[in-house]
């Protein structure tokens, strides 16, 4: 029990070190094509359980039917229970900031034009997922570290309609739509 807690503490510490180094380094340049074709979403399912609302973005932003990929976070989840959204948790944190979840690794293997960080909780694994995801534009909330996101939307997390309209407005300003 004691050794397991010590191991988890060292994993967390090595993950924080990795995150700090990634935030200080210059991000890799991704393709510079304008327009949105692939949208990734990292959502905190503990605070916003209705992740299916993100599929409304397909119509709202005039995207292809399979353009949105959603990855959910839960502080605790049962691996045997079925979830409609692929889920990862704090248990999936490995050494050196590695993520040890097959769904999360599949999500991280793809490149996105837009990444929506739909969480306000300051959790290491969520920030690591944001840093590791290759995306041209990263959008998040003001409650988080401003170094994680390129665009910050000031709206309550529960008010998805306002978030959706603000997102579309700023993407038009950036000439992405």
Q: Give the domain range for residue 129.
A: 2-26+35-173
CATH number at residue 97: 3.40.50
Q: Count Cα neighbours of 119 within 13 Å in the Cβ-side half-sphere.
A: 26
For residue 25, give Cα distances in angstroms to 11, 14, 48: 21, 17, 31
> Per residue in 18-35, pLDDT tens?
988 888 886 665 566 788
Question: What pLDDT does 27 receive?
Answer: 66
CA pair distance 1, 17, nearest whole angstrom: 25
| pLDDT tens readout for residues 88-100 | 999 999 999 999 9
Domain count for the chain, please give it.
Answer: 1
- Cβ(36)–Cβ(176) below 8 Å: yes
Bridge partners of residue 78, in order along the sequence: none
Global model pTM greater than 0.85: yes
């Amino acid at each position: 029990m004691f050794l397991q807690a010590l191991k988890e503490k060292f994993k967390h510490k090595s993950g924080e070190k990795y995150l700090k180094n990634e935030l200080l380094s210059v991000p890799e340049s991704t393709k510079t094509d304008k327009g949105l074709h692939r949208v990734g979403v990292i959502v905190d399912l503990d605070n916003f359980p209705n992740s299916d609302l993100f599929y409304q973005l397909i119509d709202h932003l005039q995207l292809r039917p399979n353009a949105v990929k959603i990855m959910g976070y839960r502080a605790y989840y049962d691996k045997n229970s079925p979830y409609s959204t692929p889920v990862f948790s704090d248990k999936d944190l490995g050494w050196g900031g590695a993520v040890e979840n097959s769904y999360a690794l599949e999500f991280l293997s793809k490149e996105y034009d837009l990444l929506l960080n739909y969480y306000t909780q300051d959790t290491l694994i969520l920030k690591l997922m944001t840093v590791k995801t290759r995306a041209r534009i990263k959008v998040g909330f003001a409650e988080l570290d401003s170094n994680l996101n390129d665009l910050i939307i000031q709206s309550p997390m529960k008010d998805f309609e306002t978030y959706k309209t603000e997102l579309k407005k700023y993407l038009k300003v950036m000439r992405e739509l």
